[in-house]
């Protein structure tokens, strides 16, 4: 039974963080843990459920209907399916969820069984995001992934037999020892599984991770920046040829299969983040949850909020985020949409930033839309930072 009224505003997104993995990958600095006992996992879900219920109690009116839910991690598919079922059932109990809501779960090969997949489907999950990263076993080993190519193939078979048709696959470029031919082989192999969405990320070396230490010690060599960009453009060319749309700097989809959840992040649409280290944006304020596992659980057990609320966002900050998050979308940003939201043209606020970037050939302006040029994609971070 739904207990929260809808105020008719834009659909709300919900992110739930599941911070457990079977083993920590060599490049990972996400909020995730391996080797924890079932008791710790059970306590975590109890705390997560408390957080969801507390939010519902404190906001018992005017919460918009939810139209996207995203179980991310960590590895949500690594825990007992019962935890995902009860969490989703709770969300359905305390929020109004639209009938056509996009409900995604992240799955890592080597953790999915037929039983889990069919229980996800029955619970209402209708989209899977699978972390392949690379087709070649030698690269998966370097990354410290638990899975092999054969595990990925099995995962896809399980998903298909459970009736999942809408799924995304994550791949990585710029890996140690990776060649352009490996990237192309990965993409070609993937086409046989007909994904609706692909995310292609460049490896980022996070300080303190084993991989960063190995590279620093000269034990692993990364492709240089030119090779990494060559890989990116090869991915781009191949996927476009296959009918995919490049809609966000790292994201490609079949027409109509954009990640509706992620689009909310780039369009400053409100979303709630529940769980360890989760972030949210609600009522014009951002918040971030505690990212230490014991602290998160203890705060909730003591009846306290696990997050720190930032002050209501100033218009100036909102404008800045609207610009640099929006420019991640390859379709760009419309000046009339900016004017509608903020009452003035973005050239009024950012002409001194935009015009030089246009002159440099990094942004393109057609009289109504501002977007990254292909060259601009290679300098994404520099461009985004210019609006901060």
Q: Which two tokens stand for residue 171?
A: 């791949």
β-strand partners of 106: 129
Judged by beta carbon, residue 110 or residue 270, the one nearer ligand SF4 is: 110
Beta-sheet pairing, 333-334 with 369-372:
antiparallel
Candidate ranges 18-26, 41-49, 155-163, 204-212; the one touching ligand SF4 (CB under 6 A): 18-26
Q: How far is the CB of 145 from ligand SF4 (least distance, A)?
A: 7
Size of the site for ligand SF4 (CB under 6 A): 10
Q: Which of 4, 16, 25, 220 forms a contact with ligand SF4 (CB under 6 A)?
A: 25
For the four alpha carbons of 44, 122, 156 and 278, in that order, the dihedral sign comes to: negative
Q: Which residues contact 242 (CB under 8 A, 6 or more apart)?
A: 191
Q: How far is the CB of 63 from ligand SF4 (least distance, A)?
A: 29
Q: Which of 30, 214, 282, 379 forms a contact with ligand SF4 (CB under 6 A)?
A: 30
Candidate ranges 21-29, 46-54, 184-192, 299-307; the one touching ligand SF4 (CB under 6 A): 21-29
Contact of 293 with 282, CB cutoff 8 Å: no
Here's the x/- map for ligand SF4, 56-75, by CB under 6 A: it reads as: -----------------xxx
Q: Which two tokens stand for residue 89?
A: 């059932």
129 forms part of the interface with ligand SF4 (CB under 6 A): no
Between helix 38-58 and helix 81-94 the angle, nearest 10°, is: 10
Here's the x/- map for ligand SF4, 147-186, by CB under 6 A: it reads as: ----------------------------------------
Candidate ranges 25-33, 242-250, 305-313, 369-377; the one touching ligand SF4 (CB under 6 A): 25-33
Candidate ranges 24-32, 120-128, 328-336, 347-355; the one touching ligand SF4 (CB under 6 A): 24-32
32 forms part of the interface with ligand SF4 (CB under 6 A): yes
Q: How far is the CB of 210 from ligand SF4 (least distance, A)?
A: 11
Q: How far is the CB of 44 from ligand SF4 (least distance, A)?
A: 15
Q: Which of 68, 77, 87, 108 forms a contact with ligand SF4 (CB under 6 A)?
A: 108
Judged by beta carbon, residue 75 or residue 104, the one nearer ligand SF4 is: 75
Of 84-103, binders to ligand SF4 (CB under 6 A) are none
Q: Which of 12, 14, 21, 52 forms a contact with ligand SF4 (CB under 6 A)?
A: 21
Judged by beta carbon, residue 76 or residue 195, the one nearer ligand SF4 is: 76
In three state form, how does the secondary structure of the chain look? CCCCCCCCCCCEEEEEEECEECCCCCCCCCCCEECCCHHHHHHHHHHHHHHHHHHHHHCCCCCCCEEEEEEEECCHHHCCHHHHHHHHHHHHHHCCEEEEEEEEEEECCCCCCHHHHHHHHHHCCCEEEEEEECCCHHHHHHHCCCCCHHHHHHHHHHHHHCCCCCEEEEEEECCCCCCHHHHHHHHHHHHCCCCCEEEEEECCCCCCCHHHHHHHCCCCCCCCHHHHHHHHHHHHHHHHHCCCEEEECCEEECCCCCCHHHHHHHCCCCEEEECCCCEEEECCEEEEECCCHHHHHHHHHCCCCCEEECCCCCHHHHHHHHHHHHCCECCCEEHHHHHHHHCCCHHHHHHHHHHHHHHCCCEEECCCEEEECHHHHCCHHHHHHCCC
Q: How far is the CB of 147 from ligand SF4 (least distance, A)?
A: 9
Judged by beta carbon, residue 26 or residue 156, the one nearer ligand SF4 is: 26
Judged by beta carbon, residue 201 or residue 365, the one nearer ligand SF4 is: 201
β-strand partners of 123: none
Judged by beta carbon, residue 108 or residue 129, the one nearer ligand SF4 is: 108
For the four alpha carbons of 262, 31, 137 and 213, in that order, the dihedral sign comes to: positive
Q: Which of 28, 190, 278, 386 forms a contact with ligand SF4 (CB under 6 A)?
A: 28
Judged by beta carbon, residue 8 or residue 207, the one nearer ligand SF4 is: 207
Candidate ranges 19-27, 84-92, 243-251, 357-365; the one touching ligand SF4 (CB under 6 A): 19-27
Judged by beta carbon, residue 64 or residue 72, the one nearer ligand SF4 is: 72
In the complex, the residues that contact ligand SF4 under the rule CB under 6 A are 21, 24-25, 28, 30, 32, 73-75, 108
């Amino acid at each position: 039974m739904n207990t929260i009224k809808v105020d008719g505003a834009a659909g709300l997104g919900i992110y739930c963080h599941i911070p457990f993995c079977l083993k920590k990958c060599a490049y990972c600095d996400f909020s995730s843990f391996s080797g924890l006992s079932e008791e710790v996992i059970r306590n975590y879900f109890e705390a997560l459920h408390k957080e969801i219920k507390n939010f519902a109690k404190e906001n018992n009116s005017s919460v918009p209907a939810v139209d996207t839910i995203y179980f991310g991690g960590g590895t949500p598919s690594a825990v007992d399916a019962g935890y995902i079922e009860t969490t989703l059932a709770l969300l359905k109990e305390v929020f109004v969820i639209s009938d056509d809501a996009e409900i995604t779960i992240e799955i890592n090969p080597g953790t999915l069984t037929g039983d889990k997949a069919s229980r996800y489907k029955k619970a209402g999950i209708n989209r899977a995001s699978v972390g392949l990263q690379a087709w070649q076993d030698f690269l998966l080993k370097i990354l410290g992934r638990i899975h092999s190519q054969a595990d990925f193939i099995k995962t896809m078979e399980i998903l298909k037999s459970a009736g999942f048709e809408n799924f995304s696959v994550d791949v990585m470029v710029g890996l140690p020892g990776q060649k352009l031919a490996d990237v192309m082989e990965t993409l070609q192999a993937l086409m046989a599984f007909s994904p609706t969405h692909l995310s292609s990320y460049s490896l980022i070396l996070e300080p303190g991770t084993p991989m960063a230490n190995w590279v620093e010690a000269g034990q692993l060599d990364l492709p240089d920046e030119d090779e990494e960009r060559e890989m990116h453009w090869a991915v781009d060319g191949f996927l476009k040829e296959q009918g995919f749309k490049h809609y966000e700097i790292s994201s490609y989809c079949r027409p109509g299969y954009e990640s509706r959840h992620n689009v909310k992040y780039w369009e400053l649409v409100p979303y709630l983040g529940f769980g360890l280290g989760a972030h949210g944006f609600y009522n014009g304020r951002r918040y971030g949850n505690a990212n230490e596992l014991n602290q998160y659980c203890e705060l909730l057990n003591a009846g306290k909020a696990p997050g720190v609320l930032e002050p209501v966002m100033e218009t100036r900050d909102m404008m800045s985020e609207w610009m640099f998050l929006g420019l991640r979308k390859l379709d760009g940003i419309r000046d009339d949409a900016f004017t509608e939201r903020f009452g003035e043209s973005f050239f009024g606020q950012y002409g001194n930033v935009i015009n030089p970037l246009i002159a440099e050939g990094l942004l393109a302006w057609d009289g109504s839309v501002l977007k990254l040029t292909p060259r601009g994609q290679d300098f994404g971070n520099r461009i985004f930072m210019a609006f901060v």
